């Protein structure tokens, strides 16, 4: 039986991995939250790898508050960069294969066609920079790793855009949503299935991959479809990014090309609206 450590127990991806467990009886899962395992503490990370043997480590832990990262850059760096470095070093010493979750925000959004793995990275906010620096630490430390960049992650778990829209619909009747930032929503359960398929297939196609659901839409489009699917009584108004003030600048375009992952791991591409329907059926 394979042993897998999942770091970031409270994240929506880790929660979705838990939902998939029953489909992978050959895997023994161990989940740790930040209280049980502080990835910013090198000694803490070393100890858990010394105490237990893990074939794989899935790092779902991250500092993900994009706006707050602008005012807490050291905290974001400590988690996203130094934390990734600590995990990578422990994996190297103990022979564990690392699966690390990264982000579309490593790109600047200047491209007008979907980003491939070889495209030049140029993050334009603190969050994106710390995540890219974390990738670099992993690439420098390990030979056996999978870095999976994803985008606009949502599910019925954790905190995300979907749950924000559903909460707002209970509080008021109208909202404005940015209509000139484009990306690909990704259902976290789909990403969980991909992650576990990599492990169960014992793939040795190591490297960096992009994975998102198919399609290019704006946040406004996404909000409209959520409202339609959940039959919300909510008026949604389009607004330009320049008129919606935030601490962090965001890429205007961060659509990911997932074809490399599809070929390498023999997975089927899923359209974003199909996955949203699946999420709706799973929602509780």
Tell me how far apart the alpha carbons of residues 137 and 87 are, in angstroms, rounded to a whole number: 10
| Residue 77 CA: distances (Å) to CA of 58, 73, 137, 147, 259 | 19, 6, 12, 18, 30
Residues labelled as active-site residues = 127
Q: How many C-alpha atoms does 174 have within 13 Å on its Cβ side?
A: 3
**C-alpha torsion sign, points 163, 168, 169, 170:** positive
Strands (E), the chain: 2-7, 27-32, 56-59, 97-103, 145-150, 153-154, 174-178, 182-183, 186-187, 207-210, 217-218, 235-239
DSSP for 228-256, written as a single string: HHHT---EEEEE-GGGS--SS---SB--B
Of 5, 88, 89, 94, which is closest to residue 50 (Cα–Cα)?
94
Under DSSP, is residue 207 helix (H, G, I), strand (E, B) or coil?
strand
């Amino acid at each position: 039986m394979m042993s897998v450590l999942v770091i970031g127990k409270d994240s929506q991806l880790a929660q979705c991995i838990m939902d998939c467990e029953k489909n992978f009886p050959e895997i023994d899962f161990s989940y740790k939250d930040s209280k049980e395992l502080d990835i910013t503490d090198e000694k803490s990370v070393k100890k858990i790898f010394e105490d237990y043997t893990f074939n794989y480590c899935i790092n779902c832990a991250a500092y993900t508050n994009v706006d707050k990262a602008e005012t807490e850059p050291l905290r974001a760096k400590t988690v996203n960069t130094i934390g990734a470095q600590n995990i990578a070093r422990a994996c190297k010493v103990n022979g564990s294969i690392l699966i690390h979750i990264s982000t579309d925000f490593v790109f600047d959004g200047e491209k007008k066609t979907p980003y491939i793995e070889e495209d030049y990275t140029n993050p334009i906010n603190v969050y994106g920079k710390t995540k890219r620096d974390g990738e670099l630490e992993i690439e420098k430390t390990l030979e056996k790793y999978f870095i999976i960049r994803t985008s606009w992650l949502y599910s019925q778990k954790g905190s995300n855009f979907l749950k924000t829209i559903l909460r707002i619909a209970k509080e008021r009747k109208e909202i404005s949503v940015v209509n000139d930032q484009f990306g690909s929503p990704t259902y976290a359960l789909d990403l969980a299935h991909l992650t576990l398929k990599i492990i169960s297939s014992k793939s040795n196609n190591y490297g960096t991959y992009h994975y998102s659901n198919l399609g290019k839409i704006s946040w406004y489009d996404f909000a409209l479809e959520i409202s339609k699917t959940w039959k919300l009584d909510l008026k949604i108004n389009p607004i330009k990014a320049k008129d919606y003030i935030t601490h962090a600048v965001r890429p205007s375009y961060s659509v990911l090309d997932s074809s490399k992952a599809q070929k390498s791991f023999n997975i089927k591409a899923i359209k974003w609206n199909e996955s949203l329907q699946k999420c709706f059926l799973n929602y509780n």
